[in-house]
């Protein structure tokens, strides 16, 4: 640790952002990074904790506390403080294959478990991580590193999201021939089509894919395994199969009027928008437009926020976001102690932009949608809601109870259902005969990742259910080690 008093002398500082009314006019990332000098100052705030919880990656109360890929955070913070950026990059890459992704889209559970955060604001870990990897690319330090020798073993990875890419990267390092199958026309899974461009510019995804390809990984797009690419062919041609297809089955809202035009799952809206943006900068009009419409987003998570920000960039007439849960507190409650993830009110970019345009936060809490109502042409025109309270039933479980007299009708021509995901699509699992757990995920123990089918492994959201990008990378790296052990009898992968 270079500066024992850094956290006392210096306040937390993060990257500045373009004002909401400016950034809604484009689809580019809008953060302006701190200068190198300021980042070194921020690195000095990392104190000698003794036991740094920032990189533990444990689950407490069902949520990540610390970094799930166990980033060596105090080490590279100190190296940045000392100006040793190349060494910091080496330490970062020891645990994380894709810091350019996590440095942009991870919610940073590491910062929630930062010791400085006990009494002050936490270290700007995420900003420093992003700066390290961006500098590595800018300086030309990151180059293709294909393995010196090949084992002759062939591995198929199904799905090119963060878990699939991490698994492929590690298996390739071990010398296996890796082919990644992706059903979309571009590689990246939800990194490419599920996260809007202003949050993760796709040039960074493509840059990493190009690097992996230069290292010897083969990518096959437009290959929907089990649909237009036979499962039997996969089994015949490869020595092992890794299933990383994600948890892409969206949670629906099967209420009256669900079939009306203008009611869509969030991922349909977001993926079509990004594809059209990349294909033609929206000139092809092959997307679901929110322009001029009253938009209701049902769901309060990150996907809901992305729907808000995307609708605003479409120039919607208005946007409202429904949350069935109560508003989170401003500060940690007593039952949410450090180092747990702080369950506090988060005002993300979408809410900032909606507030700048409409004068207030777009979120309405403790509200339930009862039905959708359409016009004579079968298109959505309004939705009916009621406020709820959470009360314990006779079994002690909290259930929503309607508040009498709180019914309200909202005009809406576009509804985006962003209520999370219920699990993986079953096509590949069923055709391979992979057993499922009670949540319909591929059944495979964490740490082993082997399914009931010999030579078939599962990792990421397809195994654990909807989760964070950083957990996907964790599982991708770990499943690679187990596949390597299965193929070779032992493994030197971390």
| Residue 100 contacts residue 134 (beta carbons within 8 Å) | yes
Which two three-digit tokens encode residue 239? 């020595």
- For residue 54, what pLDDT band results from cuts at 50, 70 and 90? very high
Residue 253 binned pLDDT confidence (cut-offs 50, 70, 90): very high
pLDDT in tens, 398-416: 999 999 999 999 999 999 9
3-class secondary structure, 379:
strand
At 2 the pLDDT is 66
SS3 call for 400:
strand
Radius of gyration of the chain (CA): 23
pLDDT value of residue 3: 82
State mean pLDDT over 73-94.
96
How far apart (Å, rounded) are the C-alpha atoms in residues 401 and 393? 10
Domains annotated on the chain, with CATH: 6-138 (1.10.1060.10), 154-248+422-488 (3.50.50.60), 252-419 (3.50.50.60)
Which pLDDT belongs to residue 267?
97
- In this prediction, residues 43-71 reach a mean pLDDT of 90
DSSP letter (8 states) at residue 404: T
CA dist 34 and 103 (Å) reads 14
Taking residues 224-242, report their average pLDDT: 97
* Structural contact between residues 161 and 463, judged by C-beta atoms closer than 8 angstroms: no
* Interval 296-323 mean pLDDT: 97
Q: How far is CA 277 from CA 26, 192, 261, 283, in A?
A: 11, 12, 23, 8
Is residue 202 a contact partner of residue 219, using CB atoms and an 8 Å limit? no
Q: What is the pLDDT of residue 249?
A: 95
Tens digit of pLDDT for each residue in 349-361? Answer: 999 999 999 999 9
Contact 97, 209 (CB under 8 A): no
Question: What pLDDT band is residue 64 in, cutting at 50, 70 and 90?
Answer: confident
Q: Rounded mean pLDDT of 85-91?
A: 98
pLDDT in tens, 134-180: 999 999 999 999 999 999 999 999 999 999 999 999 999 999 999 99
The CA distance from 180 to 460, in Å, is 15
Whether 62 has a pLDDT exceeding 90, the answer reads no
Residue 1 has pLDDT above 70, yes or no: no
* Residue 180: per-residue pLDDT: 98
How far is Cα 238 from Cα 455, in angstroms, rounded to an integer?
9
pLDDT the model gives residue 475? 98
Find the mean pLDDT for residues 267-279. Answer: 98
39, 6 Cβ separation under 8 angstroms: no
The pLDDT value recorded for residue 427 is 96
Residue 373 is predicted with a pLDDT of 98
- Residue 303 — φ and ψ, nearest 5°? -65, -40
How high is the pLDDT of residue 143?
97
| Best CA proximity match to 426, nearest among 224, 180, 249 | 249
pLDDT greater than 90 at residue 49: no
Nearest-10 crossing angle of helices 162-173, 202-214: 20
What average pLDDT does the segment 404-433 reach? 97
pLDDT of residue 240: 98
**pTM (2 d.p.):** 0.96
Mean pLDDT in residue range 4-25: 94
């Amino acid at each position: 640790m270079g500066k024992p008093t850094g956290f006392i002398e210096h306040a937390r500082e993060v990257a500045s952002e373009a004002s909401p009314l400016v950034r809604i006019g484009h689809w580019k990332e809008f953060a302006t990074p701190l200068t190198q000098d300021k980042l070194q100052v921020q690195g000095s705030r990392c104190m000698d904790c003794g036991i740094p919880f920032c990189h533990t990656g444990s689950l407490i109360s069902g949520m990540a506390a610390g970094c799930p890929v166990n980033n060596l955070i105090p080490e590279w913070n100190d190296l940045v403080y000392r100006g040793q950026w190349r060494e910091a990059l080496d330490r970062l890459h020891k645990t994380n294959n894709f810091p350019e992704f996590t440095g942009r889209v991870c919610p940073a559970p590491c910062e929630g478990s930062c010791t400085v955060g006990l009494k002050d604001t936490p270290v700007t870990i995420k900003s420093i991580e992003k700066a390290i990897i961006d500098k590595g690319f800018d300086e030309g330090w990151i180059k293709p590193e294909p393995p010196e020798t090949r084992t002759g073993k062939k591995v198929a990875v199904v799905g090119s999201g963060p878990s699939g890419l991490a698994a492929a990267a590690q298996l390739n390092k071990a010398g296996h021939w890796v082919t990644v199958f992706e059903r979309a026309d571009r590689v990246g899974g939800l990194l490419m089509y599920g996260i809007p461009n202003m949050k993760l510019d796709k040039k960074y995804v493509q840059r990493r894919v190009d690097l992996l390809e230069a290292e010897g990984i083969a990518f096959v797009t437009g290959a929907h395994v089990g649909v237009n690419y036979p499962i039997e062919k996969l089994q015949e041609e490869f020595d092992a199969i890794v299933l990383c297809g994600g948890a892409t089955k969206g949670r629906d809202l099967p209420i009256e009027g669900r079939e009306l035009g203008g009611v869509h799952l969030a991922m349909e809206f977001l993926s079509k928008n990004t594809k059209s943006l990349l294909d033609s900068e929206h000139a092809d009009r092959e997307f679901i437009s929110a322009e001029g419409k009253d938009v209701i987003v049902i769901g309060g998570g990150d996907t809901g926020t992305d729907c808000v920000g995307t609708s605003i960039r479409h120039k919607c007439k208005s946007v409202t976001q429904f949350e069935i849960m109560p508003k989170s507190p401003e500060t940690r409650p007593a039952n949410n102690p450090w180092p747990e993830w702080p369950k506090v009110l988060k005002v993300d970019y979408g809410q900032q932009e909606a507030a700048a345009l409409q004068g207030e936060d777009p979120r309405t809490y403790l509200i339930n949608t009862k039905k959708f109502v359409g016009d004579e042409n079968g298109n959505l025109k309004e939705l009916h809601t009621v406020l709820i309270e959470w009360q314990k039933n006779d079994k002690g479980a909290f259930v929503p109870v309607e508040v009498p007299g709180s019914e309200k009708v909202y005009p809406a021509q576009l509804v985006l259902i962003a209520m999370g995901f219920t699990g993986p699509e079953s096509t590949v699992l069923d055709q391979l005969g992979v057993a499922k757990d009670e949540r319909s995920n591929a059944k495979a123990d964490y740490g082993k990742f082997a399914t009931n089918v010999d030579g078939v492994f599962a990792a990421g959201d397809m195994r654990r259910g909807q989760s964070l990008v950083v957990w996907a990378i964790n599982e991708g790296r770990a499943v690679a080690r187990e596949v390597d052990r299965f193929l070779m009898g032992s493994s030197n992968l971390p």
